[in-house]
Amino acid sequence: MGAAELPFGLVVDFAFWVDILKLPFPQLVQVIFAIIGWVALSLLVFFVGAYFWLEIKEDQYKENWQWVVLAVDVPPDTIQSPKAVEQIFAHLSGALYEPNFGEKYWQGVKQKWFSLEIISLEGYIQFLIYTENAHRDLVEAAIYAQYPMAEITEVEDYVHLIPDKYPNDTHNMFGVEFGLAAADPYPIRTYSEFEHSVTTDFNFNDPMASILENFTRIGPGENLWFQIIIEPAADSWKKKGIDLIKSIIENKKASHGSNFFSSFLSTLAGDLLNAVQGNPLSPPGDSHSVEKPPGKISDLTPGVKDTISAIEEKISKIGFKTKARILYAAPKEFFNPGRCLDGFIGSLNQFNYSGRNAIVPSMATSAHYAFKNYQIAELKRKFVKAYKKRKMKMGKSPYILNIQELATLWHFPLPLVKTPLLQKTGGKRAEPPINLPIEELIESPLKRKVQAVQVAEEPVEEPPAELPYA
């Protein structure tokens, strides 16, 4: 009893398992755990250990990195479309490095990233790039290639201007992290769609105008900081876009766990009903419905065709892993985040595209549940740490934006954008004419970082004891 004969004369005896299944439930659980539980426990210990091992090795690999903050100023008369900044991002993609299995999991080799930032210190606006020192030449070459008259200055990091922990006695802060409303392959509205021609002259409604306007709304003691962290990504992300296009053409929807579970329960209920009625069970994979034949491109509506073209356009360009955050901080007596954050979030709505994608808040330093004060304090602490360290992993998962989308969100404004206190270069470098009136420029609150350079003292030449006569 309990034996089964297999082909080729093999016999399998199930008597052992039959005896186990006859045990009381508490003993049954103990026996099953003793037989297979150690395997699951070993796998759990292995994966947890591997996770912490990788974290330790990555920290060791990054401890020698040296980060620099570069302030970028362009001449006020520079007329360059965001296409120039798109080329800068294409240049930065050269930093891509894909470590092999041994380098990644044994040495902790990690891809370096960049942080594109726009900050307002009491209304003074500055464009910054945060990069590891090894990639400084890459960043400068990319910028000078498109903006030959730009000025790039290394400055001290400004993040020390606000405290690390909240609540505290002096300051308060509010932060928002942004994500995509739809899957990565769906594009947002890009700068090319802000171009229009009412007359024969070229016209461009610079989307940076509405963004920078919010950075001018703050006053003494207030800080508004915006960062876009980007990390070069391999082309493997494009496969997701190709699969999405196929699913749209074939009129299929992506499978989710809840849909599969519901379908499984529906099939199981139908099989039980058939069994009660004496009908044969449905064959595996039969969902009791006639499968719709695959669609064709000719069957799609014009709007869907445009969406497919937009997805193809996005995946045709270079992509970066992306994380965007904005942080507002001020002394408690001046704290008023609604003055600028509401308008900033509203300015990002101009990049929304119905039926495609949108930039939406994915996390904020607020809470509406039990232990609210504790949760808010913890969120603020983590948010400030993530901003100051320019962390990609902290918060929600990163997403993919291509170089055209990034150039839409972060580019140097055109001269038609009249933003006060936006730092720009003084124009071409040349000797000023005599008696030229000098206008006092607003001093930047960012301190230029001066590196100490040791200069060897030149020996002082002693004059001769007796000077010869002429």
Query: Does position 104 have pLDDT exceeding 70, yes or no?
Result: yes
* 424 in any annotated domain: no
360 vs 370, more confident: 360
Highest mean pLDDT among 129-133, 281-285, 411-415: 129-133
Q: What is the pLDDT of residue 84?
A: 94
182 vs 457, more confident: 182
* 221 in any annotated domain: yes
| 234 shares its domain with 364 | yes
Average pLDDT, the chain: 81
Reported as a single tens digit per residue, the pLDDT across 327-358 is 999 999 999 999 999 999 999 999 998 889 99
What is the pLDDT confidence band of residue 12, given thresholds at 50, 70 and 90? low
| 34 shares its domain with 72 | no
What is the pLDDT confidence band of residue 10, given thresholds at 50, 70 and 90? low
- Helix pair 82-92, 136-146: axis angle to 10 deg: 150
Query: Does position 314 have pLDDT exceeding 50, yes or no?
Result: yes
Query: Does position 464 have pLDDT exceeding 90, yes or no?
Result: no
What is the pLDDT confidence band of residue 157, given thresholds at 50, 70 and 90? very high
**Spatial separation of the C-alpha atoms in residues 288 and 291, rounded to whole Å:** 9
Q: What is the pLDDT of residue 172?
A: 95
Percent of the chain topping pLDDT 90: 49
Q: What is the pLDDT of residue 446?
A: 81
| 72 shares its domain with 43 | no
Q: What is the 3-state secondary structure (H, E, C) of the chain?
A: CCEEECHHHCEEECHHHHHHHCCCHHHHHHHHHHHHHHHHHHHHHHHHHHHHHHHHHHHHHHCCCCEEEEEEECCCCCCCCHHHHHHHHHHHHHHCCCCCHHHHHCCCCCCCCEEEEEEEECCEEEEEEEEEHHHHHHHHHHHHHHCCCCEEEEECCCHHHCCCCCCCCCEEEEEEEEEECCCCCCCCCCHHHHEECCCCCCEECCCHHHHHHHHCCCCCCCEEEEEEEEEECCHHHHHHHHHHHHHHHCCCCCCCHHHHHHHHHHHHHHHHHHHHHCCCCCCCCCCCCCCCCCCCHHHCCHHHHHHHHHHHHHHCCCEEEEEEEEEEEEECCCCCHHHCHHHHHHHHHHHCCCCCCCEEEEEECCCCCCCHHHHHHHHHHHHHHHHHHCCCCCCCCCEEEEHHHHHHHCCCCCCCCCCCCECCCCCCCCCCCCCCCCCCCCCCCCCECCCCCCCCCCCCCCCCCCCCCC
What is the pLDDT confidence band of residue 459, given thresholds at 50, 70 and 90? low
The residue from 361, 387, 409 where one domain ends is 409
| 177 shares its domain with 233 | yes
Q: What is the pLDDT of residue 20?
A: 73
| 137 shares its domain with 39 | no
Query: Does position 323 have pLDDT exceeding 60, yes or no?
Result: yes
* 297 in any annotated domain: no
* 106 in any annotated domain: yes
| 121 shares its domain with 16 | no
| 212 shares its domain with 322 | yes
| 17 shares its domain with 155 | no
| 132 shares its domain with 167 | yes
The answer to whether the beta carbons of residues 218 and 340 sit under 8 Å apart is: yes
Q: Total structural domains in the chain? A: 2
| 121 shares its domain with 153 | yes
- CA 197 vs CA 78, 80, 209, 315: distances in Å: 21, 17, 18, 28
Q: What is the pLDDT of residue 203?
A: 73
Query: Does position 253 have pLDDT exceeding 70, yes or no?
Result: no
Q: Which among 317, 319, 323, 329 has a CA at the least distance from the CA of 115?
A: 323
* 433 in any annotated domain: no
196 vs 41, more confident: 41
Q: What is the pLDDT of residue 454?
A: 47
* 454 in any annotated domain: no
Percent of the chain topping pLDDT 70: 74
Query: Does position 265 have pLDDT exceeding 80, yes or no?
Result: no
Whole-prediction pTM: 0.76
* 267 in any annotated domain: no
| 169 shares its domain with 32 | no
Lowest mean pLDDT among 17-31, 296-310, 390-404: 17-31
The residue from 355, 378, 409 where one domain ends is 409
* 276 in any annotated domain: no
The residue from 370, 388, 409 where one domain ends is 409
Dihedral of CA atoms 228, 74, 232, 314 in degrees, nearest 10, equals: 80
The range of the structural domain enclosing residue 367 comes to: 67-196+203-240+302-409
Query: Does position 206 have pLDDT exceeding 80, yes or no?
Result: yes
| 229 shares its domain with 335 | yes
What is the pLDDT confidence band of residue 194, given thresholds at 50, 70 and 90? confident
